[in-house]
Structure 1
Amino acid sequence: MTTRTPRHRPAAEGGYQRGEETRAKIIEAALSLFGERGFEGASTRDIAEHAGVNAPALVYYFDNKEGVYQACVEYIMANVADYFADAVEAAQAVLDANPSDDALIDAFRAIQARVASYLFTTETPATWRLFMAREQAGLGPAFAAERLNERMRKPLLSVSSEIVGRLLGRPAGDPETVIRLLAINGQLVSFHLTRCTALAALQWKSIDGERLKQLCAIIDEQSVVLLRAMIEWREANSKRRKKK
């Protein structure tokens, strides 16, 4: 499906601010309903009603439901992509410097710490979590997944898979490399996307303060163990090849 970029119409003079406010209200309402009901289950009429605007206003700013959904994706990306930019750049600098295994592990830990910081210390609305959970599960439109992958996931995945690949002694794009990377990353993501389940199991009311420190410390410790196990696997595999 080809989706046009949502129209962002400037309002004349003092109407500009009102136009921006209306647009933001529609996006927030759409994030909520798309998160709760999915793309197919949320209608433009429901979104407009939830936003407190009439249906023509939604069409005026976004054309159609696809346009609203794309605007939601762009809205989240604008608030997220820059948060990880310096961590990605720092990791790439390490990769470019012929690093030791310890340096690679430290670079991975730094990325993971930044992800944890975003997931648990930034003000991420529950509506975003529901929306992104559906996207992570592949339940959103294809055009949105492609955009999210290009702007948000690909930069992090690229440097992270390169780090894991070097520790494993395998190409960054090798399925084993990617599977092991996603398995490590799943430690954090599961506590974010299924937060209610995690809180119930832990009998916690929230993940913050000392509890967040404990969570991050344990995940960091487990990640280091897994990354060092990759080095051992690489070295053992190298010895086997030399014997043949």
Structure 2
Amino acid sequence: MIRGALHRHPEGGGYARGEDTRARIVAAALKLFGERGFEAASTRDIATAAGVNAPALRYYFDNKEGVYLACAEHIASRVWEYLSQVVAHGEHVIAENESDEALIDAFCAIQARVVEFMFKSRESSEWQLFIAHGQSGQGPAAGFQIINHRLNEPISTVTNAIIGRLLGRPANDDETRIRSMALSGQLAVFQMMRRTALTSLNWDKVDAERLDLIKRVVIDHTRAVLHAMIIGRSPT
């Protein structure tokens, strides 16, 4: 079972004030958990960074793990808000048994949206270290499970189904899933190794023109691979 974060609201007219306090704590915790890791980031330091006293953390989140899970839920909610529309479109294309080209377009639309989020959302860069700690097994496992369940699973369900359809293989086949992960992995260099990527390109930043170039190259690669899958498709 995936355990979510405690979400306690003050009684009476303090709802908005309480939500603001909670948001400040989550923002401070995301930064400190990212910089120091779960073990090294203390509740006292989080409270100080958020401009609240330590009992406020216990009131809203119960304990440090509760704050950590709230951070994971915040990331999952914000990213899903950005990606849900293209993922839903992919589900529709699959359910309606649409053409190979429609499947390819749906897969590419998801990738394009992910790239846009990476570079257009200020939050994305702020979350990289927090997510990296979770990927390395640091911090409560429930935090990783929240992000995996609310983001990775619904997205990979769609991308695996599209790849499986194009390959003529089941969506849960190991080769299907590996190919899906490999295509999505093109984006990882711009997320987890952004400094290296920008240095290699002699770029100081990614502006609108450079973002369009990244998207175009990624989508061109993806389309070429997906069309090759159709050519070599297993008979059904």
If the length of structure 1 is used for normalisation, what is the TM-score? 0.88
- Of 136-145 and 190-199, more deviation after overlay is shown by 136-145
What's 2:64 paired with?
A: 65
3-state DSSP of counterpart to 2:39: helix
- 1:111 corresponds in structure 2 to 110
- Indicate the RMSD between aligned Cα atoms, in angstroms: 2.1
2:47 maps to 48
- Inter-CA distance 3–44: structure 2 relative to 1 (3 Å threshold): farther
Note the C-alpha offset of 1:67. 0.5
Q: What SS does the corresponding residue of 1:207 show, helix, strand or coil?
A: coil
Does residue 119 of structure 2 align to residue 126 of structure 1?
no
* Contact 1:6/1:63 (<8 A) preserved: yes
Does 2:140 align with 1:141? yes
Partner of 1:210: 209
Question: Which residue of 2 is the match for residue 6 of structure 1?
Answer: 6
Listed one character per residue, the Cα deviations across residues 187-241 of structure 1 (whole Å, up to 9, x for unaligned) are 1132022211111111101122111111111111111111122223325xx4xx9
Instruction: Show the counterpart of 1:100.
Output: 99
Listed one character per residue, the Cα deviations across residues 93-142 of structure 1 (whole Å, up to 9, x for unaligned) are 11122222222211111111121222222332532222123334443422
Report SS of the residue matched to 1:40: coil
Contact 2:107 2:159 in 1 (8 A): yes
How many residues of Structure 1 are paired with residues of Structure 2 in the alignment?
236
Shift of 1:2: 7.9
Residues 132-174 of structure 1, C-alpha deviations (whole Å, 9 max, x = no match) = 2333444342212222122111111111100011111211111
Distance 2:171 2:49 in 1: 44
Report the Cα distance in structure 1 between the residues aligned to 2:172 and 2:137, rounded to whole angstroms: 20
Amino acid at match of 2:177: V
| Separation in structure 2 between the aligned mates of residue 107 and residue 125 of structure 1, nearest angstrom | 23
Percent of aligned pairs sharing the same letter: 50
Going from structure 1 to structure 2, the CA distance change for 1:21 and 1:103 (only over 3 Å counts) comes to closer
Sort the Cα spacing of 1:103 and 1:36 in 2 relative to 1 into closer, same or farther, 3 A: same
Q: Give structure 1 stretches of 5+ with no counterpart.
A: none
Residue 158 of structure 1: aligned partner: 157
Could you list the per-position Cα deviations for residues 64-87 of structure 1 after superposition, in whole angstroms to 9, with x for gaps in the alignment?
011001111122222221222221
What stretches of structure 2 of length at least 5 have no aligned partner? none
Give distance in 1, aligned partners of 2:15 and 2:102. 50
Provide the secondary structure at the position in 2 that maps to 1:204: coil
TM normalised by structure 2 equals 0.90
